[in-house]
Amino acid sequence: MSATPIDLPRWADAGLVPLVSVTAALLVAGLVVLGIGESPLEATALLLKGALGSIEGLGFTLYYTTNFIFTGLAVAVAFHAGLFNIGGEGQATIAGIFLALACLWLAPLPGILLVPLAILAGAAGGALYGFIPGWLQATRGSHVVITTIMFNFLAATLSVYLLVNVMGKPGSMQAETPEFAGHAVLTPMHQLLAPLGIKLPATPLNTAFLLALAALVAIWALIYRSRLGYAIRTVGANPRAAAYAGISPARMTMVAMALSGALAGGLAVNEAMGVQHRLLIDFTAGYGFVGIAVGLMGRGHPVGVALSAFLFGVLYQGGAELSFDKPTITRDMVVVIGGVVILFAGALDGLFRKLVANGLRLRRVA
């Protein structure tokens, strides 16, 4: 992210500025709700109740959170290297194809081998699809932003072709693969916890959630505690200084993009192996783009990513419940909020920093 001349204490920069911009984003969404003749307060209450008011609601919320942790981390890792990866959708799509091929071809293997292999195949597919734009930028100078946009469309058309003509389930009207074998899928949390005497209602929440938590810790350790993470951050902060220090910006660009793609692949793991148990067309459903909001709002830090992923999980699940109660407010409201968050937390960062700085100065004077 660009350096701004406005000096703020660290707590304000990491906590207050995102908080103010998210609040402003929610206010804008409130205006839209008001505009279509509904009460924003009532809508908020319904939304929170739907997302957090029951164990079942919370299960759904955490299932959505899992998706956003993966796509948010993907954006965050690339950001640390100074790259803006908007190819999460495409990377997850390709990851899904690799993962589905592994699940279908390697089905004779026992689950203990098959599941990790399929997850690795998905991560490898995403990594490869992130690596290519990184490689193109590093060696041929084509900008990652433009190539990842093009790659999103290429992945989408490729997956339509494959799911309709090659991998599709014969006789199915929908573009989808045959169902994965029972031992090729991830255990739902309610089944996992049942033997321990914990009874939960059935939700799509599955062990991919644990994988997402592990990814948060691993990425934190990698970015802030490892030599590679230091190299990535140095390249992101100042490529010329990095080159002077013996770090190859080209190499870090490729590494960061591959890593970013692999993380985006986690979306496919949760959706295809954890919930749908097959590969559906367009399973990415915009999660990759919301990941940009999550990564920006979380300031690229895993703790921030976890918090903002949870916020968007609440919005998604609460939004689904809300649209059930209030048919005029569709789930697309969440997309609006995502867009405004990206605008405020990402592009209008300077404005909100200035507002916060002015606010702090006023308090000091008073």
Partner 1 sequence: MDWLTTIAVILDSTIRLSIPLLCAALAGLWSERSGVVDIGLEGKMLVAAFASAVAAFVTGSAWAGLGAGILASVLLSLVHGFAAITWRGNQIVSGVAINMLAAGVTVVLGNAWYGQGGRTPPLEGAARFGDLTLPFAGAMREHVPVLGLLYDEVISGHGAPVYLAILAVPITAFVLKRTRFGLRLRAVGENPAAVDTAGISVAGLRYGAVVICGVLCGLGGTYLAVSQSAGFLPQMTAGKGFIALAAVIFANWRPWPALGACLLFGLLDAIAIRLQGVLLPGIGQVPVQAIQALPYLLTVILLAGFIGKAVPPKASGLPYVKER
Query: Which residues contact partner 1 (rule: CB under 8 A)?
Result: 1-2, 32, 35-37, 84, 86, 136, 140-143, 145-147, 149-151, 153-154, 157-158, 160-161, 165, 286, 289-290, 292-293, 296, 327-330, 332-343, 346-351
**Which residue's structure tokens are 């292999």?**
117
Helices (H), the chain: 10-11, 17-35, 40-52, 55-80, 88-105, 111-135, 144-161, 189-193, 208-225, 227-237, 239-244, 249-268, 287-297, 302-325, 332-341, 349-365
Minimum distance, C-beta of residue 349 to partner 1, in the bound complex (Å): 6
Cβ distance to partner 1 smaller for residue 109 or 150:
150
Contacts for 22-31: CB closer than 8 Å, 24+ residues apart: 22/297, 22/311, 22/341, 22/344, 22/345, 24/340, 24/344, 24/352, 25/337, 25/340, 25/341, 25/343, 25/344, 25/345, 26/337, 28/336, 28/340, 29/333, 29/336, 29/337, 29/340
Q: For residues 205 and 59, is the Cβ–Cβ distance under 8 A?
A: yes
Minimum distance, C-beta of residue 1 to partner 1, in the bound complex (Å): 7
Cβ distance to partner 1 smaller for residue 169 or 354:
354
Minimum distance, C-beta of residue 17 to partner 1, in the bound complex (Å): 13
H or E stretch including 133?
Answer: helix 111-135
Closest CA to 269 of 185, 337, 352: 185
Closest CA to 266 of 55, 68, 110, 112: 68
Cβ distance to partner 1 smaller for residue 176 or 186:
176
Minimum distance, C-beta of residue 73 to partner 1, in the bound complex (Å): 18
Cβ distance to partner 1 smaller for residue 116 or 350:
350
Classify 176 as helix, strand or coil. strand
DSSP 162: I
Cβ distance to partner 1 smaller for residue 69 or 292:
292
Minimum distance, C-beta of residue 172 to partner 1, in the bound complex (Å): 18
Minimum distance, C-beta of residue 55 to partner 1, in the bound complex (Å): 29
Q: For residues 291 and 68, is the Cβ–Cβ distance under 8 A?
A: yes
Cβ distance to partner 1 smaller for residue 163 or 189:
163
Cβ distance to partner 1 smaller for residue 137 or 177:
137
Please state, in angstroms and rounded to a whole number, the distance separating the CA atoms of residues 91 and 152. Answer: 8
Cβ distance to partner 1 smaller for residue 81 or 119:
81
Tell which phi-psi region holds residue 110, choosing left (phi > 0), alpha (psi between -120 and 50) or beta.
Answer: beta
Burial class (CB in 10 A: 0-12, 13-18, 19+), 137: buried
Minimum distance, C-beta of residue 336 to partner 1, in the bound complex (Å): 4
Could you tell me the end-to-end alpha-carbon distance of the chain, in angstroms, rounded to an integer? 32
Minimum distance, C-beta of residue 90 to partner 1, in the bound complex (Å): 10
Cβ distance to partner 1 smaller for residue 18 or 188:
18
